[in-house]
């Protein structure tokens, strides 16, 4: 393969670098990665994109991994190969260039800019550690040989992306996906045959965070996808396996997704509807990402599927608290929710809420006075538990959004905790 970067000849690997260099270099890596990313974005217009997008995520992750891998190579002298992780990231960068319709010039320039920034840092740090000129020379050769290997891997990914057809982009497969989601009828067999796709016994739909950029060549051949729309989504034949999850991480790096239930093809729309609902809860901070499985959150999806209806239930079941202050309501409903969920003793509830057992006993007596016979009525008690569980989930999402500065804009600005659900 022809060389991809212009630099000096490879270093003689018979003379290893002193492992102590790795100890000197490691503390510099976090700030060096930031410096390299900033320099690349400043010097190369093609990479001057928001860093919170998929391209920015891949750029930052690749720089961090490749720097760490180079230091690992210095720390363990001997025959060295690029790690599978770094090789995969390097190939992915090349695939991105191909999908953007560009040549490899910008990525080659990015490698050069990164190497120059790294070497400037070495020149600033080396004088403090009495590193000889001979060692510095071997370190320079090793660094640029490493960059040459990464660039060659990126070129390999670029060529693969250019050479391989992308069935997921084919309009026939897009049409097939639409047919499945519209409710397959007599058209399904015809659409599947045209798309050269065998209809499976079951499918799993996946909702993807908006504005996702997909590495198409990382998708399995049998996956149907539409990610260039306002609500990106994929269809995976069969169940969502660990292998499919690994595929998603490569194809949609850094993007949050929600995986629907595995259902017969005729229920594909239901699987996607639930996946989109789960993704909304991920973006709201209620569910954890980056991959949320509907299978693991069925009760949460049900509880929060119709907020207006839960609000009406709250008006009927919790109206007895209207005369209390918000703080009083929060304390009593959190204690009641914990008791309903755990049916624990005062000591057990106190440990969960980080309060004194005597405080729990006082609150429970107050709760019994307020709710009376409703706590003994199974239907009424279930309604109260539903309301309080839903309020707790919504409160958790509100706290996450407040902590992170807001995962997305929301109209609901009411207080968290049980008062979210309790009418004033």
pLDDT tens column, 142-190: 898 999 999 999 999 888 877 765 655 577 888 899 999 987 666 888 8
Take residue 33 and report the two structure tokens written for it. Answer: 């990665």
Per-residue pLDDT reduced to its tens digit, 323-351: 788 888 888 888 888 888 888 888 998 88
Q: How confident is the model at residue 409 (pLDDT cuts 50, 70, 90)?
A: very low
Contacts of 113 by beta carbon, 8 Å cutoff, 6+ apart: 36, 39, 40, 43, 44
What is the distance between the alpha carbons of residues 256 and 279, in angstroms, rounded to a whole number? Answer: 8
Rg (CA), the chain: 28
Nearest to 218 by CA among 178, 257, 245: 245
What is the distance between the alpha carbons of residues 235 and 268, in angstroms, rounded to a whole number? Answer: 8
240 and 331 housed in the same domain:
no
pLDDT reading at 419 higher than 70: no
pLDDT of res. 174: 86
Question: Per the domain annotation, does 225 fall within a domain?
Answer: yes
Question: Per the domain annotation, does 6 fall within a domain?
Answer: no
What number is the average pLDDT over the span 297-309?
83
Question: Per the domain annotation, does 15 fall within a domain?
Answer: no
Per-residue pLDDT reduced to its tens digit, 39-93: 998 998 888 766 655 566 677 878 888 899 898 888 886 666 767 777 877 888 8
122 and 220 housed in the same domain:
no
250 and 333 housed in the same domain:
no
153 and 25 housed in the same domain:
yes
Last residue of a domain, one of 163, 186, 217: 163
Take residue 82 and report the two structure tokens written for it. Answer: 């690029």
Q: How confident is the model at residue 212 (pLDDT cuts 50, 70, 90)?
A: confident
Residue 374 domain boundaries: 307-420
Nearest to 420 by CA among 314, 341, 322: 314
Q: How many domains does the chain have?
A: 3
């Amino acid at each position: 393969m022809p060389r991809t970067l212009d630099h000096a000849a490879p270093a003689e690997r018979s003379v290893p670098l002193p492992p102590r260099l790795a100890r000197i270099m490691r503390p510099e890596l976090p700030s060096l990665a930031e410096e390299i990313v900033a320099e690349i974005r400043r010097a190369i217009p093609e990479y001057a994109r928001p860093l919170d997008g998929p391209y920015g995520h891949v750029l930052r992750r690749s720089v961090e991994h490749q720097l760490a891998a180079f230091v690992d190579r210095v720390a363990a002298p001997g025959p060295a190969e690029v790690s599978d992780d770094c090789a995969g990231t390097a190939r992915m960068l090349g695939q991105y260039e191909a999908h953007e319709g560009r040549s490899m010039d910008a990525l080659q320039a990015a490698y050069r800019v990164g190497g120059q920034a790294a070497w400037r840092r070495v020149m600033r740090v080396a004088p403090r550690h009495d590193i000889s000129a001979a060692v510095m020379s071997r370190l320079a050769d090793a660094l640029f040989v490493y960059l040459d290997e990464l660039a060659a891997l990126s070129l390999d990914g670029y060529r693969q992306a250019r050479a391989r057809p992308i069935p997921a982009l084919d309009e026939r497969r897009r049409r097939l996906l639409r047919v499945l989601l519209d409710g397959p009828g007599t058209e399904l067999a015809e659409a599947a045959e045209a798309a050269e796709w065998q209809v499976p016994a079951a499918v799993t739909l996946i909702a993807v965070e908006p504005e996702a950029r997909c590495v198409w060549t990382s998708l399995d051949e049998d996956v149907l996808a539409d990610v260039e729309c306002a609500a990106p989504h994929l269809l995976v034949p069969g169940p969502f396996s660990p292998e499919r999850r690994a595929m998603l991480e490569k194809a949609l790096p850094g993007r949050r997704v929600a995986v629907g239930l595995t259902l017969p093809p005729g229920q594909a729309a239901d699987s996607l509807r639930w996946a989109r609902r789960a993704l909304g809860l991920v973006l709201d901070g209620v569910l954890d990402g980056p991959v949320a499985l509907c299978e693991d959150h069925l009760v949460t999806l049900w509880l929060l599927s119709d907020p207006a209806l839960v609000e009406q239930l709250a008006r009927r079941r919790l109206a007895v608290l209207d005369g209390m202050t918000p703080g009083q309501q929060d304390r009593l409903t959190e204690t009641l929710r914990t008791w309903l969920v755990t049916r624990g003793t005062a000591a057990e509830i106190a440990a969960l809420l980080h309060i004194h057992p005597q405080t729990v006993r006082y609150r429970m007596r107050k709760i019994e006075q307020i709710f009376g016979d409703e706590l003994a009525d199974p239907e009424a008690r279930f309604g109260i538990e539903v309301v309080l569980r839903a309020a707790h989930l919504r409160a958790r999402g509100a706290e996450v959004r407040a902590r992170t500065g807001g995962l997305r804009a929301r109209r609901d600005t009411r207080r968290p905790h049980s008062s979210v659900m309790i009418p004033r």
